[in-house]
Chain A
Amino acid sequence: MSDYILETQGLGKAFGGFMAVKDVALKVRPNTVHALIGPNGAGKTTVFNLLTKFMPPTSGHIYFKGKEITQMTPVQVARLGLVRSFQISAVFSGLTVFENLRVALARPLGLSFKFWRSLDSLKSTDARANELIEAVGLTEFRDTRAADLAYGRKRALELATTLALDPELVLLDEPMAGLGQEDIAGISKLIQALKADRTVIMVEHNLSVVADLSDTITVLQRGEILAEGDYASVSSDKRVIEAYLGGDYE
């Protein structure tokens, strides 16, 4: 089990009588980019929500670094170092870029209930916040309200806030959704750089991005794992081609 940073056994989720996800056994190696792909309705986002505990599974187990997290809350797994992003870019729109990062960095300081303290008490996070802002290329927008950022920059900001928590495992829900070509190149570079000291699981529709970035690809169909492997093996798998092009392909 220690070979994998994240492992699931028999993971399942039923909505009423409908099994959105059944018997999924994922094995994610550390310091890799692991992509979840599949046609619409394959259960990618459901798996994602199960892993981050935003939904409780109906069956199965989830292990993070060998420790069972199946019954934990989203807050608990976030504090363990498993942090997610969202499909719709999740930033605090009324806060500036800098304040967005400060909120992410401030929690471990334990000051966040102290309503009588001034914000100066969070000064120790300033340097790290500026560093992260620079890393995603937002330095000139440091004091811009997140609501006023272009979409690609919001995604960059979201990535920076996720990294602020120094997570071991980053889960990205369609990081490229809604982005233009040049933004995709920028975000790809950031994700690539993450691999050095973190693990990334991402759900992504853009197959060229998946091909470029992923070490392992898991293909889901109707809630089950259809195929798994690197891009070359998965893309030549007959069942995968069938799933993407429709059942009556043959």
Chain B
Amino acid sequence: MNQANLSTPVANPRRGSLQRTLLTVALILLACLAPTVLYPTFLMKGLCFALFAMAFNLLIGYVGLLSFGHAAFFGAAAYIVGHALKVWGLPVELALVIATLSSAFLGTIVGWLAIRRQGIYFAMITLALSQVVYFVALQAPQTGGEDGLQAIPRGYLFGLFDLSDSMVLYYVVLAIFLACFFMMQRIVSSPFGEVLRAIRDNEPRAVSLGYQVDHYKLLAFTLSAGLSGLAGALKAIVFQIASLSDVHWHASGEVVLMTLLGGIGTAMGPVVGAFTYAALQNYLAPFGSWVFIIQGVVFVLCVLVFRDGIVGLLGRIRNRIGFN
């Protein structure tokens, strides 16, 4: 889909795209069958993280902006969806839309302030503004402070599908995730996406070609914040809780790590990274606090040995096999 990110030119583009289609279909089938083998809640957690990492990847991978405040959009949407379902009693689809749009709006404000700076200063501004959101969540009476919003009702999708059944919810989350995944592929391979990559590669040159780069960055930031919000809202529905950990800067760090681990600027990287991260968290849980040490070692190895992430590593292995 994305020519620029293929490490080797595909000899026959038609065969390449056929392979890609088959692979996509196979992965979707696998995702549909997965809850018969694996715990659906774990899978849904993975999908929510994957959506979050994908949204984050739009900025870091395609515009070259490192946001260190994405938890604000993830967490704010979690609270908003929780409040909309629990207090206002809105239908779940409407609550999701409101939460997503609210995060996108918040993203426009944060982005508008942050894109005036570059590099570490950009990251610091996003961190500072996300801390503001964190303290609002801590102090506001609606958020439940340290307790968070608990026992959020899952409700019925379109009044028909009972989401309290985890299997039903899983397929809803999967459908939303897939829609967002394909939307993201379209975004990065649209005329807009091409300008984003141009800005990432050489911002002054993009200016000299007559592009108002700030407008493109702001739109990318808004889209990324909105999708992060959708991820947070889904997570709140899955776990039926919105808590301070969703807006904490740890969550901002986690999404950076997931994306790095999977592979920046690739379609599958954030998905692979998110599931790897969720698996580490789940299956290493018996080790208690050692989880953090093990995670740390994994990330150090990732940065030292395969900088282009798991997806990049797999691509290199495939190329080597292909050439021999």
Shortest Cβ distance from residue B59 to the other chain A in the assembled complex, whole angstroms:
14
User: What 0/1 readout, one digit per residue, does chain A (63-100) give for beta carbons within 8 Å of chain B?
Assistant: 00000000000110011000111100011111110011
Contact B197 A95 (CB under 8 A): yes
Contact B201 A95 (CB under 8 A): yes
Between B3, B204, B205, B207, the greatest number of chain A beta carbons within 10 A of the residue's beta carbon is seen for: B205
Contact A106 B201 (CB under 8 A): no
Which residues from A are CB-within-8-Å of B197?
A: 92, 94-95
Which residues from B are CB-within-8-Å of A102?
A: 194
Scan residues 1-18 of chain B and give those whose CB is less than 8 A from a CB of chain A. 3-5, 9
Number of interface residues of B (CB under 8 A): 32
Q: Which residue of A lies closest to B214 (CB)?
A: A75
A-B contact count (CB 8 A): 109
Alpha-carbon distance between A86 and B150 when the two chains are bound, in angstroms: 57
Contact B186 A115 (CB under 8 A): yes
Q: Which residue of B lies closest to A113 (CB)?
A: B192
Scan residues 186-227 of chain B and give those whose CB is less than 8 A from a CB of chain A. 186-187, 189-195, 197-198, 200-202, 204-212, 215-216, 219, 223
Write the residues of chain B forming the contact surface with A, with a CB cutoff of 8 angstroms.
3-5, 9, 183, 186-187, 189-195, 197-198, 200-202, 204-212, 215-216, 219, 223
Given B186, B211, B216, which contacts A116 in the complex, CB threshold below 8 Å? B186
Q: List 15 A-B contacts (CB under 8 A).
A: A75-B210, A78-B207, A78-B210, A90-B202, A90-B208, A92-B206, A95-B197, A99-B194, A103-B195, A103-B198, A106-B194, A111-B191, A116-B186, A117-B191, A121-B191
* A112 touching B195 in the complex, CB below 8 Å, given contacts A91-B202, A92-B201, A145-B4: yes
Q: Which residue of A lies closest to B190 (CB)?
A: A115
Interface of B is mostly: helix
Between B198, B204, B219, the greatest number of chain A beta carbons within 10 A of the residue's beta carbon is seen for: B198
Contact B210 A107 (CB under 8 A): yes
Contact B200 A114 (CB under 8 A): no
Contact A115 B194 (CB under 8 A): no
User: What 0/1 readout, one digit per residue, does chain A (111-139) give for beta carbons within 8 Å of chain B?
Assistant: 11111111101100000000000000000
Contact A165 B210 (CB under 8 A): yes
* A94 touching B200 in the complex, CB below 8 Å, given contacts A107-B210, A115-B190, A121-B191: yes
Shortest Cβ distance from residue A152 to the other chain B in the assembled complex, whole angstroms:
18
Contact B4 A96 (CB under 8 A): yes
Alpha-carbon distance between A75 and B201 when the two chains are bound, in angstroms: 18
Contact A114 B204 (CB under 8 A): no
Contact B205 A117 (CB under 8 A): no
Q: Which residue of B lies closest to A83 (CB)?
A: B208
Q: Which residue of A lies closest to B213 (CB)?
A: A75
Which residues from A are CB-within-8-Å of B211?
A: 75, 107, 112
Given A78, A79, A122, which contacts B191 in the complex, CB threshold below 8 Å? A122
Q: Which residue of B lies closest to A164 (CB)?
A: B209
Which residues from B are CB-within-8-Å of A243?
A: none
Alpha-carbon distance between A113 and B190 when the two chains are bound, in angstroms: 9
Contact A92 B198 (CB under 8 A): yes
Shortest Cβ distance from residue A16 to the other chain B in the assembled complex, whole angstroms:
23
A5 contacts B by Cβ under 8 Å: no
* A103 touching B209 in the complex, CB below 8 Å, given contacts A86-B204, A113-B192: yes
A52 contacts B by Cβ under 8 Å: yes
A-B contact sample (10 more), CB < 8 A, given A115-B190, A116-B186, A161-B205: A85-B208, A90-B202, A94-B200, A96-B3, A103-B195, A112-B192, A112-B195, A113-B215, A122-B191, A165-B210
Alpha-carbon distance between A165 and B216 when the two chains are bound, in angstroms: 19
Contact A94 B194 (CB under 8 A): no
A104 contacts B by Cβ under 8 Å: yes
Which residues from B are CB-within-8-Å of A85?
A: 208
Contact B204 A75 (CB under 8 A): no
Which residues from B are CB-within-8-Å of A75?
A: 207, 210-212
Shortest Cβ distance from residue A87 to the other chain B in the assembled complex, whole angstroms:
11
Alpha-carbon distance between A107 and B209 when the two chains are bound, in angstroms: 8
Between A52, A78, A92, A104, the greatest number of chain B beta carbons within 10 A of the residue's beta carbon is seen for: A92
Alpha-carbon distance between A84 and B204 when the two chains are bound, in angstroms: 10
Which residues from B are CB-within-8-Å of A114?
A: 190-192
Contact B193 A115 (CB under 8 A): yes
Contact A116 B201 (CB under 8 A): no
Q: Which residue of B lies closest to A90 (CB)?
A: B205
Which residues from A are CB-within-8-Å of B194?
A: 95, 99, 102-103, 106, 112, 119
Which residues from A are CB-within-8-Å of B187?
A: 115-116
Between A90, A109, A118, the greatest number of chain B beta carbons within 10 A of the residue's beta carbon is seen for: A90
A242 contacts B by Cβ under 8 Å: no
Contact A143 B192 (CB under 8 A): no
A244 contacts B by Cβ under 8 Å: no
Alpha-carbon distance between A68 and B223 when the two chains are bound, in angstroms: 38
Which residues from A are CB-within-8-Å of B207?
A: 74-75, 78
* A86 touching B4 in the complex, CB below 8 Å, given contacts A92-B197, A92-B198, A114-B190: no
Alpha-carbon distance between A94 and B5 when the two chains are bound, in angstroms: 8
